[in-house]
Structure 1
Amino acid sequence: MYDPLRRPEIVLSIQTCFATDSPDFSDMNKLHNLIASMCTHPDDETVQILENGVSDRARFSFKMFRFTESFSYIYLHCEVKVCNSTAETCVGSQGLCHGGEWERKKRSAEEAAPSPGDTQQFISRGPLIAYMQENAGEGRVQVESNQNHPLY
């Protein structure tokens, strides 16, 4: 069915994604980088970008972890952008994915606050709770969220 409002050049792009022990994305007391500059972060080789900057959804996977301290919860925070793929770079390229600036810089709440018309926003999900299944000896992840949006 033809949708006149659907524009295939308008895509969703994950710019950065990281995990913290806090539901507040600007609280970076404990931080684990997953995606930076639209590319997998070199500190975590388990991250796989499944879809990014090519459609109206973005997906990635990673092996669940726990922070070395005994934090009960992990929260995912991703900076996503609604991107025009014909006018701007919406997907990381291999040439740009290595050797770039990987350090996550702390930002003040004013810098991180979205401005009207901005196509780049932070979304957060969690808490994610990692637990071991007793019989199988394998890790499982439980997502608890009161938001009505799926975790992709």
Structure 2
Amino acid sequence: MIPYHDAQFTIPYDEEQVQVNQQMYVAVKVEGVDRNQIATVLDNCWATPVNDAGYHIRWNLISRECPNPEDAAVEVLQNGIDTTSHFSFRILTFSGISDHIFLHCEVHLCLVQNGRCALLCNHGYRTKRQRSLDFLYSAAISIGLKAQ
């Protein structure tokens, strides 16, 4: 998982500190697999104030492959069509709890030959579409940042 300053995904963050309310662009990619056969799918992504993916205080960014409909700043930019998936969101803080933000994502790898790997989302809600149910591996990943 790599956070970027820009929508073109060319300028990665080289420091841990980020500005509150700034739009962040995140790439989640898998390396060492054939992009013609495998796609990365973002299942769920969320933020917590501590480095614990299961922490009881959290803000959902992506749920079941679609942006949180309660947060208009979250966008799923690319999902399930390549070895890299992209999303963006506005940096938030957990007031009174922590000045850190930890991002967590649950992802899986999908065989692209069997159809579309991710659902199409409409205004944050899932739309019913046929998609491949074949996935090879699922994992959770996390990164931490300090918000100013």
TM-score (norm 2): 0.64
Aligned equivalents of 2:48, 2:115: Cα separation in 1: 30
Number of the residue aligned with 1:22: 50
Residues 124, 82 of structure 1: alpha-carbon distance in 2 compared, 3 angstrom cutoff? same
Aligned length: 109
Task: Give me the whole-angstrom Cα distance separating, in 2, the residues matched to 1:119 and 1:93.
Answer: 21
- Render the CA deviation track for 1:47-100: whole Å, top value 9, x for unaligned: 111211110111111011111324121100000111112336521223695279
Question: Are positions 1:129 and 2:129 aligned together?
Answer: no
- 1:81 aligns with one of 88, 102, 108: 108
Q: Distance in 1 between matches of 2:136 and 2:82?
A: 19
Structure 2: which 5+ residue stretches go unaligned?
1-32, 128-134
For residues 95-121 of structure 1, what are the alpha-carbon distances to aligned partners after superposition, in whole Å with 9 as ceiling and x for unaligned?
695279xxxxxxxxxxxxxxxx96111
Distance 1:84 1:118 in 2: 7
Q: 2:69 touches 2:123 (CA, 8 Å); kept in 1?
A: no
The 3-state SS of whatever aligns with 1:86 is helix
TM-score (norm 1): 0.63
Structure 1 residue identity aligned to 2:143: R
CA distance in 1, matches of 2:69, 2:49: 21
Are 2:35 and 2:82, in contact at CA under 8 Å, matched by a contact in 1?
no
Larger-Rg structure? 1
Task: Give the 5 Å matches for 1:34-45.
Answer: 34-45=61-72
Indicate if the aligned counterparts of 1:33 and 1:43 stay in contact, CA closer than 8 A: no
> What fraction of aligned residue pairs are identical, expressed as a percent?
30
Q: For residues 43 and 93 of structure 2, what CA distance do their matches in structure 1 show?
A: 23
Q: Which runs of 5+ in 1 are unaligned?
A: 101-116, 132-152
Normalized per residue, the structure richer in strand is: 2
User: Quick one: distance in 2 between partners of 1:69 and 1:26?
Assistant: 19
Q: Which amino acid aligns with 2:74?
A: V
C-alpha RMSD of the superposition: 2.5
CA 1:16/1:89 → structure 2, altered by over 3 Å: closer, same or farther?
farther
Q: 1:99/1:12 Cα in 2 relative to 1: closer, same or farther (>3 Å)?
A: closer
2:37 partner amino acid = E
Check if 1:68 corresponds to 2:95: yes
On the 8 A contact 2:80/2:118 being kept in 1, the answer is yes
* Structure 1, 61-70 or 11-20: larger mean CA deviation: 61-70
